[in-house]
Amino acid sequence: MMSLTRLFLLLHCAAAAFAAAGPLPAAPAGDPGFLVHSQEFNVRVFPEKGSCEAAVAWDVEARGPEPRAQLTAYLADVAEVTGVSSPGGPLAWKRVPSLVPFFSSVVVSFPAPLPPGRRETVTFAYTLSPSAAATGLAAMNMAVGPDKMYFFECWYPTITPFIDENTFVRAGQKPPFTLAASVPAGFVFITAGELASVAAEGDRAVYTYRCPAPAPFLIPFLAGKFARARIAGGPVPLDLFVMGNARAEEASGFTDFIAQSAALQARLLGRPPPAHLAVALCEAGGLARGFPGLIIVPPGFQHSWRDPAVASTVCHELAHTYFGNLVTASGPGGNEFLSEGLATYAGIKTAAGVAANAEDALFSHALARLMGSDTPDSPIVQVRPMQNVLSGEVYSKGALVFNELARLLGEERLWRLLGTYLARHAGGFATLDDFRRLVREEAWPHLACFDGHRALLDRFFAQYLDSTALPWVEIAATEAPTPGKCECTVRNRGDGFGLAPIGIRAGSRSEEHSLLIAPGETRTLSIVRPGAGRIACTVDPRGTFLHGVRRTSMLARAADLRRKGLIAEARAAYGELLARIPEDGEAWYGLGRLEEQAERHARAAECHAKAATLGGTDWLPTWGWLREASCRIALGDKARARALLRRVLSEGNDMFDAKREATAALKTIEE
């Protein structure tokens, strides 16, 4: 699931650096440079040759107080430019390196500077080849075969000599496009937007598409021997494109699910339902892709859509019509949170609302993925685009943060707020600050039931976006000293505040409480228990509370520091983890290895003994005994070492050649 906005963010950051350091002068702050009014693409696809000839014309307007002599276009590295021209004739141009991975820059010089307000058409002619597949980035993948050819996001369709928030983000650089594609007879062409016409041209067919604003930044091409089935009569009409021996009628349940999901999302967000959707079943770079009016998913999805994970993925892509296309987020971290995090949240809620009925399980899976990842902790606002591609942190944590926001504000109020967000920024861009400001304006009056409600939202965002702090709530139920009562003790062991929903059941009586609980705080609740019966308490009965400790990440960070020989830093990292989870056997083992590395054998022996006692994995007790034995040998305590090694041989789990090492060590002691 590759977001359109991930590459934009990379471009946004790198292009500004290029403009400042490259051959173009930096424009004054607030100077909008060039504004793109529209784009017109003409392509000829040749699957048999594995190439595509393309020409793209941009209608640009010079902006700002001074005439413009140059502009810069960002094209795919695999695009071989053959010419740049305008209605008046060829223009001077040169290809220059770009700081943007997989892209390069084309600097165009006009014969005479364009005065502000002057509009000009600039046309680039170039070819694309299968070398795009060598980029290793799903968004830039290209594949060619006898029955299909696809490539995604091959252009960066915005021209400006200087990209910053004022010139780019606020200038609304999301121009509509039209596209005419010539493909061999028997091939079908698909892109974002609406199919306007199909016409014969000798032994080829010409497909014409239009995509009104807001168009995606980076445009998909998909040509293949697809069979097309029009499916009407549901809440959203759609076209299904299948390949090979697949039959559209076999996917009727799947297409009905998509139509209902699209209609539900629109209703929740207060938007009109899509006029039309195209669904292409094709293995095509990444798991699934979402564009305005188009989603591309693997063929197997038509049979496995009842799996909650598949259903939520499909709905995630549908949500990209709004989050990532209708409104594109900008800024590091905020870009990820306001596109992938929102799409994941909307995907889970939509899938659960239509068919999957597994909301709790999906959010729990997201929580497990976040907590179990060994990617080092990083605040959402610091996550860079390529980090997100590799780790997916913002998909999981972003969805969980929105779920927490829904629990804080109320789900219905959050959907209304998201509808306002889309309406306020429709066809343009939003920063994370824009979103925070909107939430404050719309939501804080409804939080008066909480102490300090005016500061609560700022605290919420500071914790979940600007830091890695998380609550970690534990509860315990006990008999109260007063007969007929029981007590529930709630403790926050984490470093962040939490909204903890507590369910208490005592005999035939039950109560629910929602507590805001600070780091280190302990609260006690009591409930009358009529008659006899078991006491049962739960935190977050729905199983979606964002709380816990990123143990795997903390352990991986400490181990990495240890391997690098950074003794003091590694000791502090292990100490931080053990302060939170004193019973973590793996952390004690890692600390023991660190102390061995520092030649503090007595302390290392203590740590390994603790690790062996606590366990936690199959290998840990055995290797705890083995490493403690090694430390005892270094300390001259051969008797204790001998006993530990014999325990390895008699009781140990023979993993990673533990018993062979124990035998060799015993032989050394005896000699």
pLDDT digits (tens, 9 = 90+) for 56-112: 998 988 887 889 888 877 776 667 889 999 998 999 999 887 655 566 778 899 999
Q: How confident is the model at residue 12 (pLDDT cuts 50, 70, 90)?
A: very low
- Cα–Cα distance, 253 to 554 (Å, whole number): 44
The domain spanning residue 376 has which CATH number?
A: 1.10.390.10
Q: Domain ends where: 200, 224, 248?
A: 224
**Mean of pLDDT over the chain:** 82
State the amino acid at position 3 in one-letter form: S
- Coil vs helix vs strand at 609: helix
Least confident residue range of 129-138, 518-527, 548-557: 129-138
Residue 20's pLDDT is what? 27
pLDDT at 389: 59
pLDDT at residue 534, rounded to an integer = 65
What is the C-alpha to C-alpha distance for residues 210 and 446, in angstroms, rounded to an integer?
43
* CA–CA separation, 279 and 287 (whole Å): 14
Looking at the fold, whether 72 and 193 belong to one and the same domain comes out as: yes
Query: Of 224, 257, 287, which one is at a domain's C-terminal end?
Result: 224
159 — pLDDT class (breaks 50, 70, 90): very low
Q: Residue 534 is which amino acid?
A: R
Scanning the structure block, which residue is given the tokens 């590799």?
390
Q: Is residue 34 scored above 60 in pLDDT? A: yes
Q: Are residues 347 and 427 in the same domain?
A: yes
Q: Residue 401, CB half-sphere, CA atoms under 13 Å: how many? A: 31
**b/e sequence 105-137, b meaning 16+ C-beta within 10 Å:** bbbbebeeebeeeeebebbbbbbbbbebbebeb
Please state which of the ranges 229-238, 286-295, 493-502, 522-531 shows the lowest mean pLDDT: 522-531
Q: How confident is the model at residue 398 (pLDDT cuts 50, 70, 90)?
A: very high
> What's the pLDDT at 386?
55
Taking 70 as the threshold, does the pLDDT of residue 170 lie above it?
Answer: no
At 257 the pLDDT is 96
Residue 271: its pLDDT value, please?
94
Q: Domain for residue 229, yes or no?
A: no
> Which residues, including other chains, have CB under 8 Å from residue 327's CB and lie 6 or more apart?
214, 338, 421, 422, 425, 426, 427, 428, 429, 430
What is the structure's pLDDT at 448? 64
Q: Which two tokens stand for residue 596?
A: 């061995």
Q: Are residues 81 and 217 in the same domain?
A: yes
Count of other CB atoms within 10 angstroms of residue 226: 24
448 shares its domain with 579: no
**61 or 138, which is more confident?**
61
Identity at 34, one-letter amino acid code = F
Could you give the C-alpha distances from 39 to 86, 145, 159, 193, 470, in angstroms and in order?
A: 14, 29, 11, 13, 46
484 in the same domain as 590: no
- Do 373 and 513 have their domain in common? no
Out of 30-34, 35-39, 106-110, 248-252, the most confident range is 106-110
122 lies in the same domain as 203: yes
State both tokens at 186.
């028997």
327, pLDDT greater than 60:
yes
- Packed helices 252-269 and 342-354: angle between N→C axes, nearest 10 degrees: 120
520 and 570 share a domain?
Answer: no
User: Is there a contact between 189 and 224 (Cβ–Cβ < 8 Å)?
Assistant: no
Residues 218 and 331 placed together within one structural domain of the fold: no
Our count of domains for the chain comes to 4
19: pLDDT strictly greater than 60: no
Rg (CA), the chain: 30
CB 224 within 8 A of CB 207: no
pLDDT at 24 over 70: no
Quote the CA–CA distance of 166 and 30 in Å, as a whole number. 5
What confidence category does residue 577 fall into, taking pLDDT thresholds of 50, 70 and 90?
A: very high
Confidence band for 356, pLDDT divided at 50, 70 and 90: confident
* Assigned domain for 24 exists: yes
- In angstroms, how far apart are the furthest CA atoms of the chain? 95
User: Does some domain include residue 545?
Assistant: no
pLDDT at 372 over 90: no
Range in 46-60, 133-147, 337-351, 528-542 with the lowest mean pLDDT: 133-147
> What's the rounded mean pLDDT across residues 180-199?
94
pLDDT-derived band at 160 (thresholds 50, 70, 90) equals very low
Q: What is the pLDDT of residues 591-608, one digit of tens each?
A: 999 999 999 999 999 999
Residues 507 and 630 in one domain: no
How far is Cα 307 from Cα 309, in angstroms, rounded to an integer? 6
Cis upstream peptide for 214 (omega within 30°): yes
What does the pLDDT average to over 324-333? 81
* 398 Cβ contact list (under 8 Å, min separation 6): 336, 337, 340, 341, 342, 344, 345, 380
**Domain containing residue 491:** 473-539
If asked whether residues 97 and 207 sit together in one domain, one would say yes
CATH number at residue 176: 2.60.40.1730
658 within domain boundaries: yes
Q: How many CB atoms lie within 10 A of CB 82?
A: 12
Beta bridge partners of 243: 226
pLDDT per position as a tens digit, 430-471: 889 999 999 988 887 777 666 666 688 889 999 999 999 999
For residue 120, pLDDT beyond 60: yes
* Residue 263 placed within a domain: no
User: Where a domain ends, among 539, 572, 597?
Assistant: 539
The highest-confidence range among 301-305, 354-358, 424-428, by mean pLDDT, is 301-305
Decide which of 170 and 13 is more confident.
170
pLDDT exceeds 50 at position 21: no
Provide the CATH number for the domain around residue 609. Answer: 1.25.40.10
Percent of the chain whose pLDDT exceeds 70: 82
Residue 164 lies in a domain: yes
Tell me how crowded residue 69 is: count the other CB atoms within 10 A of its CB.
16
46-50, 192-196, 438-442: least confidently modelled range:
46-50
Q: Which two tokens stand for residue 658?
A: 């533990």
Residue 243 belongs to some domain of the structure: no
Task: Tell me the two tokens of residue 559.
Answer: 């181990």
More confident residue, 167 or 309: 309
250 in a structural domain: no
User: Would strands 79-86 and 119-128 be described as parallel, antiparallel, or unpaired?
Assistant: antiparallel
Confidence at 6, pLDDT banded by 50, 70, 90: very low
CA 176 remoteness from chain centre: 26
Two tokens, residue 295: 């989603």
531 and 641 fall within a common domain: no
Whole-number pLDDT of residue 311:
96
